[in-house]
């Protein structure tokens, strides 16, 4: 990917708990949206090193990391997290969920999309994917098609690694000439 790395933060040392505390109303009280929580997240002096990380990055990252910890990936040992901000500024997160019939496992992105659709939203404004290692984990081909269903020309995909690199690409860069 040609896109520059826009932020760097040592994920292992990040106190996501602090941001998750601010984000708690999202899963305790569904009426809270990312835009209403934005200011509180932005004003949080947290261990995030990269000054150019937006509040949206921080929220998506904290949620994806939280979901990633719960991934059920005993077959691949490859835990992935994904988080979405939709057109209503609602946040959704999920992780990969595998089972003994290997091909039937579900990717983290698919789970986050399902949560978004079940909540009544239709548009992925931003999606962030946390890899389990120091490499970026761009969505698989199948997930690109799933994202395409709910993306537009502005949709951004943020890729985050455990060593703290985050880079942003336009979804159209990931799936040109989409069906």
Q: Does 178 bind ligand THU (CB under 6 A)?
A: no
Structure tokens at 97: 């969920």
**The one among 9, 139, 151, 174 contacting ligand THU by CB under 6 A:** 139
- Give the integer Cα–Cα distance in Å for 128 and 65: 10
Considering only residues 141 to 170 of the shown chain, the ones binding ligand THU according to CB under 6 A are 143
Residues designated as active site: 109
CB of 22 to ligand THU, least distance (A): 26
Given 3-state DSSP classes, what are the helix, strand and coil percentages for the chain, each rounded to the nearest 5?
A: 35, 20, 40
Q: Taking the complex as a whole, how short is the minimal distance between the CB of residue 51 and ligand THU, in angstroms?
A: 28
Burial grade of 48 (CB within 10 A; 0-12, 13-18, 19 or more): buried
Q: Which is nearer to ligand THU, 23 or 80 (CB)?
A: 80
Smaller CB distance to ligand THU: residue 59 or 71?
A: 71
Residue 73 to residue 128: CA distance in whole angstroms: 19
Positions 89 through 108 that interact with ligand THU (CB under 6 A):
96, 98, 105, 107-108
Nearest by Cα to 108 from 119, 94, 98: 94
Residue 105 near residue 116, CB atoms below 8 Å: no
Residue closer to ligand THU, measured from CB, 80 or 115:
80
Q: Which residues bind ligand THU (CB under 6 A)?
A: 73, 76, 78, 80, 96, 98, 105, 107-109, 129, 137, 139-140, 143
């Amino acid at each position: 990917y040609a896109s520059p790395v826009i932020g760097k933060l040592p994920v292992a040392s990040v106190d996501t708990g602090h941001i998750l505390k601010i984000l708690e109303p999202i899963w305790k009280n569904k009426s809270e949206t990312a835009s209403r929580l934005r200011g509180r997240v932005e004003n949080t002096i947290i261990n995030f090193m990269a000054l150019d990380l937006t509040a949206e990055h921080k929220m998506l990252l904290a949620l994806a990391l939280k979901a990633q910890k719960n991934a059920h990936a005993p077959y691949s040992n490859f835990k992935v997290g994904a988080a979405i901000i939709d057109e209503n500024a609602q946040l959704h997160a999920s992780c990969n969920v595998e089972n003994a019939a290997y091909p039937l496992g579900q990717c983290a992105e698919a789970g986050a999309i399902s949560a978004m659709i079940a909540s009544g939203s239709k548009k992925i404004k931003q999606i962030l994917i946390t890899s389990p290692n120091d490499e970026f984990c761009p969505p698989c081909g199948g997930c690109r098609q799933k994202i395409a269903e709910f993306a537009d020309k502005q949709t951004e995909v943020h890729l985050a690694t455990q060593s703290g690199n985050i880079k942003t690409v336009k979804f159209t860069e990931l799936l040109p000439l989409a069906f």
